[in-house]
Amino acid sequence: MKEKIFINARLIDPSQKIDEKGSIILDQNGKVKAIGKNIKKSDASSSAEIIDVKENVLIPGIVDMKAFVGEPGYEYKENFRTLSQAALAGGVTSIVTMPNTKPIIDNVSMVDFIIRRGRDKASVNLFPCASITKQIEGNLMTEFGLLSSRGIIGFSDVNKTIQNTELMARIMDYASDLGVLIMQHAEDYELSKNACINDGEIATRLGLEGVSPIAEKIIIERDLSLLSEYPCRYHINQISSKKSLEVIKKNKNNGKKFSVGVSINSLSLNENDIGEFKTFLKISPPLRTEEDRLSLVQGIKENLIDVIVSDHLPEDEESKRLPFAQAATGAIGIETLLPLALEMHHNKSLPLEKIIETLTINPSKILKINKGSLKKGSDGDICIFDLEAPWKLDAEKLKSKSKNTAIEDRKLQGKVMMTFLNGKLVYSQ
């Protein structure tokens, strides 16, 4: 592979506090050789390939901490190839995949299978999770140490919560000893049973069972209390409400070490968008009020929320076009993660560097992986996007196998132009 130099770029790398016009050089192995405003063409070898970024923004490849891939068992919804294509079109170069496949990733043979299959078929960096409990049933712990040694990045029961407090204490105790990452979905089962929408006026009007933000808050309060006794690597997959933020703020101010995620859906939509039973907006946790949405944006600004995830969950059309209560939960989002996040820059809710930070270096630090940065020696995973390019979302043109986007026909501003993985061009507009 030839050396590459990217010129005329707006370089943004929060890991180095860089936001400047300049150049970046990748060596023959696809690693970052040099970056900054002082880099000139003459610093690259005479045979180097010159890529003119044309004043567009160049950032580290995005790290998505929560996405579902359909292999094995649900290949009709998504597979490694289609997930990779969608991710790269969205500037995402590293993905944490969830274990709710069929069979579930809860044993060594499944881990070996998923890593081998991913290596053969995926064209992105894959970091698989295993389930916290066997079969995601919330009863028996999986073998954290053994599974970690085989390549598991963290443990999650996906959209199910560990309800049993004694079990959760034991999980955190073991996780503390072994140094593994626990990723919890916060939603009390009894309070959320049969619910499919935020509890409130809209739920009443539509005649649907609602779930209060209290269900989320209770689990967060419990887990953070346990964290005082068992200080493990603990991550809340995604929060959705102002009430949860209040608890998080209090605990972070008291010095507790944990991390928090939020879905891009919760930052860009609210319960009013559901309208008359739009099932493509049925997600978990549910869309909350506009006040909640604004609080979450503020939570990112105040460093209470660390990462933004796509919560990419493909579902076939038949399972979404049902009565709201019966429709499948989830929406695709990996390809539109960045453009939606950029809305917060365009409407001046958040600084651009802060948005990029939540998508690159922050998830990398939580996961303890060498991604999300363009420091010298780092992998040449790069996303180049036009910050101002306007476009309208057409679900049929998305790369995912399933088309259940929550933002069909939405007008967006900001489009990925090129994506590089280890220095190789893997997507071009």
User: Are 49 and 5 in contact, with CB atoms under 8 Å apart?
Assistant: yes
User: Are 25 and 35 in contact, with CB atoms under 8 Å apart?
Assistant: yes
Which residue carries 């690693």 as its tokens? 31
> Which residues carry out catalysis?
311
Q: How many residues does the chain have?
A: 429
- Residue 364 Ramachandran class (φ > 0 left, ψ -120 to 50 alpha, else beta): alpha
**Can you spell out the DSSP letters for 282-349?**
--SSPP--HHHHHHHHHHHHTTS--EEE--B----HHHHSS-TTTSPP-BB-TTTHHHHHHHHHHTTS
Sheet-wide strand order for 154-156:
62-67, 92-97, 125-130, 154-156, 181-184, 233-236, 259-263, 307-309
Dist. CA 87–CA 85, nearest whole Å:
5
**Residue 61 DSSP one-character state:** P
Dist. CA 313–CA 317, nearest whole Å:
12
